[in-house]
Amino acid sequence: MFVKEGIIASPGIVIAKALVYEKVIVEVNKNKVENPDKEIEKFQNAIKKSHEQLETIRIQAISELGEEEGAIFEAHAMVLDDPEFVEGVEAEINDSHLSADNAVKIVTDRFYEIFDQMDDPYFSARAADIKDVGTRVLQNILGIVQADLSQLDEDVIIIADDLTPSDTAQMDKKRVKGFATNIGSRTSHTAIMARSLEIPAVLGLCDITETVKTGDLMVVDGLTGRVCVNPGNEELEFYEKEKQKYLDYLKELEELKDLDAITLDGRKVELVGNIGEPNDVAGVLKNGGVGIGLYRTEFLYMNSDVMPGEEKQFAAYRSVLEAFPDGPVIIRTLDIGGDKKLPYLPMDDELNPFLGLRAIRLCFKEVGLFKIQLRAILRASVYGHAHIMFPMISSITEVRQAKAILQDCMNELDDEQIAYDKDVKVGVMIEIPSAAIAADIISKEVDFFSIGTNDLCQYTLAVDRMNQEVSYLYDPFNPAILRLIQLVTATSDKKDQFFTGMCGEMAGDPLAAILLLGLGLDEFSMSALSIPQIKKIIRSVRYEDAKAIATAALNMETGEEIMDFVQESMKKLNLYI
């Protein structure tokens, strides 16, 4: 027996036999070709075949997993049609006389690097989608057929280096009971799919494919991040008991779906969802979310070959607002720039793009683009409770500038006699330390704050969390981060009809829930699947006790000390973390 520890990607405990899934290694022809036209024909045939395969997979995914998962393969089909991808491959073939397979690999790797290096983990995780599409085209050019996971004879835990959307969409969902992979993160596709299937997954195990054999008995513990290979009778008995305890806990969570997130002594907070597109709304509703705390509108732009017009944006915003007639829908204005670029919006390379022309700064430069989005949001606002949120705000001057442009849009709509909510709420992301420190000043111009802990941590601690050499310094529990959060929530407490939410990853972290509650957070916005557990935690504590825990944490010296303290506090409440 041996035990390995990795990254918790999806909670739960499963005991089953291992199935090591090894992919065929694709070797491309690196020799120069004499007939580029023939290679282009190969490429175009592979594109056509890939389209046919993706449509079959998309229909299967919708049938088994729902519209949200099916949409992944619509996005894959868009990559096949992307002029930058297609023309890039054809240019490599014509200009450099490369083989079709070599050209596809080069262009795929180029796209992969762009996405993989993006600072936002949601976007960097999309690199796997690019790789999946490119691999499919490569295999179709070379006539390679991968191992079949669609028909399995027994329950298994899939052991792999990584899993692509195509792998997971076609696997036998009734037989696959868990994942364990060498690489991956909580925002990778493997993690997202595992949570969608509600099966345990532990990722980032480095060499699990080399240390486990097909047929080995395994335990994947998605509660602690451990995998146990060939456990003895004593270990099996322990994990069977832990599994049953967790199943009982899940039943409790199901019963909370339609209940308020309210503490034992009456403090009520709102639990809402983070989404990237309208298809994500179903998951928020299913898990009891009462609204949207972060609508990442950049997906509208990144999933389009041309700048999305006002009508397209209006339709998307309206559909989300109509899904939550009684709850808030916070729409973040375009957050592009830095590591996220659009093929149809030329931008200069910058020495330090994360401190450069991005988000609200880009919108000030591209006012026409900004106004199209603001007009679309305003027009959609009559269909629900729209809140407009400006990202990357560093001072009150920027807030006033953004509001002036918003007012121009309102004046235009008035002149055109087009209806909109004249009392639409306006807020800002607090993700730059200067904004947190000056929260009391900025609050004079807005109706709400939403703390973006991902960037707030990076900018405050001067650490690139995607850089493995320094990522250990990225710590949301660092006392400096907690004190900045307290500064922001303290401002909110002093103002009537004002609220402070959080839409960074920390808001959906069970370990942080009591701490953030005690710091005075009014709204928690997170991935849909995190909502039930956070609700359970909030309904299990007294607000006064949470405040005492937060006060004690603020007087501690290190993030590690704070985490240990909160963990002990959670254990006393018998809550899973």
Catalytic residue among 228, 363, 409, 503: 503
Query: Structure tokens of 346?
Result: 């030329």
Distance CA 43, CA 493 (A): 60
User: 140, 80, 193: which is closest to 529 by C-alpha?
Assistant: 193
In angstroms, the Cα distances linking 197 to 91, 156, 169, 239 are 40, 14, 11, 21
Sole residue written with tokens 């009520």: 268
- Going by C-alpha positions, the residue among 316, 314, 364, 375 that lies closest to residue 337 is 364
CB atoms within 10 A of CB 260: 14
Beta bridge partners of 201: 10, 179
In 3D, which of 9, 6, 170, 179 has the Cα closest to residue 529?
Answer: 9
Place of tokens 């900025």: 442
DSSP, residue by residue, 55-103: HHHHHHHHHHH-HHHHHHHHHHHHHHH-HHHHHHHHHHHHHH---HHHH
Residue 76 is a catalytic residue? no
Contacts of 574 (CB under 8 A, 6+ apart): none
Who contacts 164 (Cβ-Cβ below 8 Å, separation ≥6)? 128, 129, 131, 132, 135, 189
| Whether the Cβ atoms of residue 137 and residue 80 lie closer than 8 Å to each other | yes
Q: Which of 51, 76, 189, 363 is catalytic?
A: 189
- Cβ neighbours of residue 177 under 8 Å, at least 6 residues apart? 14, 16, 155, 156, 157, 199, 200
CA proximity to 157, closest of 194, 206, 131: 194
DSSP-derived letter for residue 337 is B
Sole residue written with tokens 């683009």:
369
Distance CA 518, CA 143 (A): 59
For residues 475 and 473, give the distance between their C-alpha atoms in angstroms, rounded to a whole number.
Answer: 6
* Residue 293 φ/ψ, nearest 5 degrees: -95, -15
Is the CB of residue 118 less than 8 Å from the CB of residue 340?
yes
Token pair 């997993």: residue: 65
- The amino acid that residue 56 corresponds to is T
3-state class of 211 per DSSP?
helix
Question: Coil, strand or helix: which one is 217?
Answer: strand
Token code pair at residue 550: 């937060």
189 counts as catalytic: yes
How do strand 523-526 and strand 499-502 relate by DSSP bridges?
Answer: parallel
Q: Which residues pair with 220 in a beta bridge?
A: 14, 227
3 state SS for 502-529 = ECCHHHHCHHHHHHHHHCCCCEEEECHH
Bridge-based pairing of strands 201-203 and 2-5 is unpaired
Q: Give the single-character DSSP code of 339.
A: T
CA distance 113 to 107: 10
Residues involved in catalysis = 189, 503
